[in-house]
């Protein structure tokens, strides 16, 4: 394994372990609540009385209803919290590589290795993908363990597709952070730009069904392609390919920016 990738994984192993354990525990806590609301007409009626804006944003408008396992987890996990966990990890990792190392004065050591700048960016992108893969595996395992214990009645293929959508969503925004960091050398910008894109994209995807003028813009939102209520409706295969292609394009932009920059300046 190239030293650039090995160091990236070794340096962040404790952070990744903490994120993986924390995410798995959070999923377990949410799943443990489900038996108390299962087949509860009052809870279903309460959810249906929410404003349409909230129902669209939090995935309550799915096909199966919030008192089913898939509907409950779509609303409680996949509508906001799990995407938030993934995005924080991905953007933080992407911004902390090239831009973060530059601000800490460590980038000179990285580029002094006997590898090209292109290889450095590609191996760092690979490290980001591996981190997200580990987090996705932890989330999948937690869901599959909780399924029989809490009576969630989940479809395994939809669980895998839903988590894959989260991973690719994170990879797209993390790669964007990597590209912005390569272009600007500023960690704040590498965090702020993809975070703003994620916030706007979340609102556009969630509200496009209510505001007709937003509907054409939903195709610009990464959240549109990661799947809406994925445990109920299944993953959007073509949408996942779009996210993967977008992440690859961001990595390519990072390579071009890093190869062309003069790293000696501030």
Residue 45 has pLDDT above 80, yes or no: no
Residue 59 has pLDDT above 70, yes or no: no
HEC assignment per residue over 154-171: CCHHHHHHHHHHHHHHHH
Express each pLDDT in 89-111 by its tens digit: 999 999 988 888 777 777 766 67
**pTM for this model (two decimals):** 0.90
Separation between Cα atoms, residue 130 and residue 106, nearest integer Å: 22
Q: What are the two backbone dihedrals, phi and then psi, of residue 160, each rounded to the nearest 5 degrees? A: -65, -45
Separation between Cα atoms, residue 53 and residue 214, nearest integer Å: 13
Residue 62 has pLDDT above 60, yes or no: no
Contacts of the segment 237-243: beta carbons below 8 A, 24+ positions apart: 237/161, 239/165, 240/161, 240/164, 240/165, 240/168, 243/165, 243/168, 243/169, 243/171, 243/172
Residue 43's domain spans which residues? 3-260
Residue 266 maps to a domain: no
Residue 41 has pLDDT above 70, yes or no: no
For residue 140, give the nearest of 224, 41, 23, 219 by alpha carbon: 23
Express each pLDDT in 163-215 by its tens digit: 999 999 999 999 999 999 999 889 999 999 999 999 999 989 888 777 777 88
Q: Determine the pLDDT at residue 43.
A: 66
Residue 265 maps to a domain: no
Split into its structural domains, the chain has a count of 1
Residue 197 maps to a domain: yes
Residue 117 maps to a domain: yes
Residue 94 maps to a domain: yes
């Amino acid at each position: 394994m190239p030293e650039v990738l090995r160091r990236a994984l070794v340096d962040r192993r404790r952070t990744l372990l903490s994120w993986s354990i924390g995410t798995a525990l959070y999923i377990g806590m949410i799943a443990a609540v489900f038996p108390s609301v299962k087949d509860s007409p009052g809870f279903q009626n309460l959810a249906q009385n929410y404003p349409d804006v909230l129902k669209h944003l939090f995935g309550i408008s799915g096909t199966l209803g919030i008192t089913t396992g898939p509907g409950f987890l779509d609303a409680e996990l996949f509508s906001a919290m799990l995407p938030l966990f993934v995005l924080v990890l991905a953007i933080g990792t992407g911004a902390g590589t090239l831009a973060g190392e530059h601000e800490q004065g460590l980038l000179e050591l990285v580029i002094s290795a006997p590898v090209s700048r292109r290889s450095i960016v590609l191996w760092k992108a690979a490290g980001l993908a591996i981190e997200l893969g580990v987090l996705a595996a932890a989330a999948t395992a937690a869901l599959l363990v909780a399924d029989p214990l809490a009576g969630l009645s989940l479809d395994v293929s939809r669980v895998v597709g839903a988590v894959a959508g989260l991973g690719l969503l994170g990879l797209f925004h993390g790669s964007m952070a990597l590209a912005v960091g390569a272009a600007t050398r500023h960690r704040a910008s590498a965090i702020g730009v993809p975070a703003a894109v994620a916030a706007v994209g979340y609102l556009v995807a969630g509200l496009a069904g209510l505001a007709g003028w937003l509907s054409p813009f939903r195709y610009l939102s990464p959240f549109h392609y990661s799947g809406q209520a994925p445990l109920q409706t299944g993953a959007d295969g073509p949408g996942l390919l779009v996210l993967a292609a977008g992440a690859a394009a961001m990595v390519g932009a990072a390579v071009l920016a890093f190869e062309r920059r003069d790293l000696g300046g501030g």
